[in-house]
Amino acid sequence: MSMIQADGLPLPSTWRPLRLQTLVMLRWLAVGGQTIGVLFVALGLGFPLPLLECFGLIALSAAVNIWLVLHFGAAYRPSSLFAASQIAFDLCQLGGLLALTGGLQNPFSLLLLAPVSVSATTLPKRATLLITMLTAIIASMLAVWHLPLPWDPLETLVFNRIYVIGIWVSIICGVVFVSAYTNRVAHDARQIADALAATELALSRKEQLSALDGLAAAAAHELGTPLSTIALAAKEMRLEAPAGSDLAADVELIIEQAARCRAILAKLRNLGSDGGDPFAAVPITDLLAEVARPHEAHGKAILFYHERAAGPPPVFTRSVGLLYGLGNLIENAADFARQTVRIEAGWDRDSISISITDDGPGFAPELIARLGEPYLTSRPRDPQGPDASNPGGLGLGVFIAKTLLERTGARLAFQNIAPEGHAQVRIVWPRTAIAV
């Protein structure tokens, strides 16, 4: 089954989730912490260290921050490349400070993980990979080239080479783990957030369309009175107009067009009672027929089955989410079916179930366990290619349908019921969750 793209949504790769103010504030925190640390070691502990060089690197970070705010403004949202370049600068500045103060022997070398964590949380995988590689390079250089660790001149402090290698290995492992784990968790969170936004957009569009029926009926009601007045006045004018005159012809035209307008308004009044009222109650059999009707034009036979032995059909409260979710699943089945789509409804005292089965090639085996996740599609679509009109895209259709139906209390299961395919979606509600 296809997973339809939500039209009008920007691709996640084009979004800019970070504000420049966030990067600036993080850098100010680093500048403050580095200043306090250097002053404490030099003045508080009395250990010798290259103060001029250290404060030069700290001042450089502060100057870059001031320039960014003046040039772009705090509300600016940088691109992924720009944000990655700023994080790379912070890494290099931190690496320079560590090189002046003992390299990996400095306990603050653990801070090399911080820029990697920020990158993995907010930037794409490629940028995070580059930041991770840069961190590994800096850590490797610090293990070899650095000034001595600031310490009491009267004491001799010697680090075993194996111990330094262990620190290097731990930092490399930490960088790899933090980048991979954090990026994966953040990526999943971003996907869910983006897909839920698409769900809300799709639902709001359906609600707007449903609201048109009520607006049309209200407009028809308001226009009915003045139109009746026009028709009555025209009929009185017809009695006074000379027969065969131009005035009589004009009056007849007014009466004729008024009658036509009244017929149109009568149709508008009936829109809300023609199966379009989102708050009306409807039996499950009628609901499925209504939802499936727009997809019968695909040239596939849609067959309905239900169990009569379990009592009368349960009555549903029609809602936009319910209609959209069921319609999306039926549309997907009709798209992929070879000839037939089978819709079965069943109910008992405890539950209500709907099964939608097509005779198509079925779900890809490797995707069955992940169906319902956002941005999961079995058939990509190239907007410029020959299959531009075929289903495909971002893979949000099944996610949206599943999310909307689960909001009504349903549980969904996906499977292939035959060796050659025959995809089936089974939807089950507790009886108390949705029946009126």
CATH assignment of the domain containing 287: 3.30.565.10
52 lies in the same domain as 74:
yes
Structure tokens at 333: 């089945």
Same domain, 237 and 295: no
Tokens of 256: 């004729």
Phi first, then psi: what are they for 19, rounded to 5°? -95, 150
Q: 90 and 189: one domain?
A: yes
Region for 432 from its dihedrals, namely left if φ exceeds 0, alpha if ψ lies in -120 to 50, beta otherwise: alpha
Per-residue pLDDT of the chain (436 residues; tens, 9 = 90+): 333 333 444 444 445 567 888 889 999 999 999 999 999 998 988 888 899 999 999 999 999 999 999 988 877 888 888 989 999 999 999 999 999 999 998 999 989 998 888 888 888 888 889 999 999 999 999 988 989 888 888 777 778 888 889 999 999 998 889 888 887 777 676 666 666 666 666 666 555 555 555 555 566 666 777 878 888 888 888 888 787 788 888 888 888 888 878 777 676 655 544 444 544 678 888 888 888 888 876 678 888 887 655 678 888 887 777 888 888 898 888 888 888 999 999 888 888 899 999 998 888 888 888 787 766 665 544 444 444 444 444 456 787 788 778 888 889 999 999 888 889 999 999 888 765 5
Same domain, 232 and 196: no
> What single-letter amino acid sits at 98?
L
User: Would the pTM of this model clear 0.75, i.e. be above it?
Assistant: no
Tell whether 6 is covered by a domain.
no
Distance CA 42, CA 100 (A): 13
**Same domain, residue pair 36 and 179:** yes
Residue 321 lies in a domain: yes
Side by side, the strands of the sheet bearing 340-347 are 301-306, 340-347, 351-358, 421-430, 411-418
The pair of structure tokens assigned to 171 is 């930092």
The residue from 183, 201, 219 where one domain ends is 201
3 is a domain residue: no
Instruction: State the DSSP code for 307.
Output: -
Q: Is residue 309 part of a domain?
A: yes
In a domain, 184, yes or no: yes
Residue 97, in any domain of the structure:
yes
Is 7 domain-assigned? no
Contacts of 411 by beta carbon, 8 Å cutoff, 6+ apart? 427, 428, 429
Q: Among residues 274, 290, 308, which one ends one of the domains?
A: 274
Structural tokens at position 203: 């639902």
| Residue 413, beta-bridge partner list | 426
304 and 411 housed in the same domain: yes
Q: Which DSSP category does 14 fall into?
A: G
Q: Are residues 125 and 233 in the same domain?
A: no
Residue 4 is assigned to a structural domain of this protein: no
CA distance 114 to 121: 11
Examine the domain organization and report whether 64 and 159 are in the same domain.
Answer: yes
Joined tokens for residue 308: 């009569």
Q: Are 271 and 217 in contact (CB under 8 A)?
A: yes
Same domain, 288 and 269: no
Do 180 and 290 sit in the same domain of this protein? no
Structural domain count, the chain = 3
340-347/351-358 β-pairing: antiparallel
Claim to verify: residue 186 and residue 236 sit in the same structural domain: no
Q: Are residues 100 and 217 in the same domain?
A: no
Per the structure, the complete domain to which residue 223 belongs is given by 210-274
Q: Of 255, 274, 293, which one is at a domain's C-terminal end?
A: 274
